[in-house]
A and B are shown apart, each in its own frame.
Chain A
Amino acid sequence: MSKKRLATVWLDGCSGCHMSFLDMDERLLTVAGMADLVYSPLVDAKEFPENVDVALVEGAVSSEEDLHKIKLVRERTKTLVSLGDCAVTANVPGMRNPFGTKAVYDRAYRENVTFDPGIPDQVVPALLPNSRPVHEFVKVDVFVPGCPPSAETIYYVVTELLEGRQPEVTTKTRFGS
């Protein structure tokens, strides 16, 4: 059996889900034996590659860059996993939504800035009006709520998917977890 191709993606989240992924500790060796990590904040790949078998997506879709990324990930991935509450519900990134983007920009780039306050129009991607869950933009195959989902949950989900089975997560994790 040829090795599967695994990817992890970091959108608008705190990276806690990736920390939980690393908390698999020695079980990472088992995962590495089953799949190649072809794209991730943890490896040095610049472009999301073609033919990915399983992609774990952390974070909500909050900016134009997130939206561009998630569409590309969807196109190039067989099984897309919404990993953690930000991807599944928008969670903490979504708490800005009731206030509107202007209030967020003003807070970040004017009120708390001493040198040359102003909203950037280059490099920093523009915010979408709302920070929203991944499945409101693209089809999601597996949902893994939790803030973050435990290393046990992630290990279970990843190994089940790599072995071609459908994981059942409701007994292992929940919103907030």
Chain B
Amino acid sequence: MRQAAPVKTLKIDGRDLSGRQEETILDVARQNGIFIPRLCEMDGLSDVGACRLCLVEIKGQNKLLPACVTVVEEGMEVTTDSERLQGYRRMILELLFTERNHVCSVCVSNGHCEMQMLAQRLGITHVHFPYRYPKEEVDASHDRFVIDHNRCILCTRCVRVCDEIEGAHTWDIMGRGIDAKVITDLNEPWGSSETCTSCGKCIHVCPTGALFEKGRSVAEMLKRRQFLPYLTMMREENE
């Protein structure tokens, strides 16, 4: 019996497109130059659907679905940009800004921050919610790196890259809801971690200024993201 071709055809924003059956809406959109905002998703890491910025509308469904974890289906009709979606995306970003202390002007990542750039792209000029101003810690106990919890948005890219690519699993998440935070080992100072290999991958996947190299001042922390797809590709070739 002839196997059905593992290709699905679908419409994204009115365009007729196709993707392999295991690909997500975000994969297909990206291949075709359609921009869908996201802060937790990263090419080369597993997908968690945590930030909810990539929510899209699918015809025939009331529920919005995250494009990064929704696999393409035959005949799907996807809308990636509508007033409703823009409203939700702005709301999510504004809530992220109020949740901790994101002071762009004095941040190591000023000018290179994914969240800052996204806010501008989505037309955010101010935040409609009251700021929380929580007291968050900065752990500078590591020889070369710093974690500033004020800037962390809990995207978990550091947790995933450390586990999936470096294989160390130094990072994890502790606590729930508003009290959740990223930790090293069993919530010990990063500098005394026995599992951290000091590879620096977490620094470079972090979308904001939460993770940075020591000695970097305002706007000086440039992140090199290109290593990740390259590393994944080389490993796949060797297998």
- Residues of chain A at the chain B interface (Cβ within 8 Å): 82, 85, 88-92, 94-95, 97-99, 130, 132-133, 135-136, 140, 143-145, 147, 169-170, 174-177
Contact = CB atoms under 8 A, between A and B. Distances in A.
Contacts of A176: 104-105, 107, 110-111, 113, 116
Given A88-B125, A94-B131, 4 more contacts: A82-B126, A91-B103, A133-B126, A175-B102
Q: Which of A82, A85, A89, A92 has the most C-beta atoms of chain B within 10 angstroms of its own C-beta?
A: A89
B50 interface: no
B135 to A, nearest CB: 4
B101 interface: yes
A170 B116 contact: no
A145 B126 contact: yes
**Chain B interface main SS type:** loop
B127 interface: yes
A132 B123 CA distance: 22
B133 A98 contact: yes
Contact of B105 (A92, A99, A132, A136): A92
Contacts, number: 71
B90 to A, nearest CB: 11
A170 B120 contact: yes
Given A85-B104, A147-B105, A98 B135 contact: yes
B49 to A, nearest CB: 26
Contact of A98 (B97, B111, B130, B134): B134
A89 B102 CA distance: 9
B125 A85 contact: no
Closest 8 CB pairs of A and B: A176-B104, A147-B105, A97-B133, A98-B135, A143-B125, A174-B120, A175-B104, A143-B126
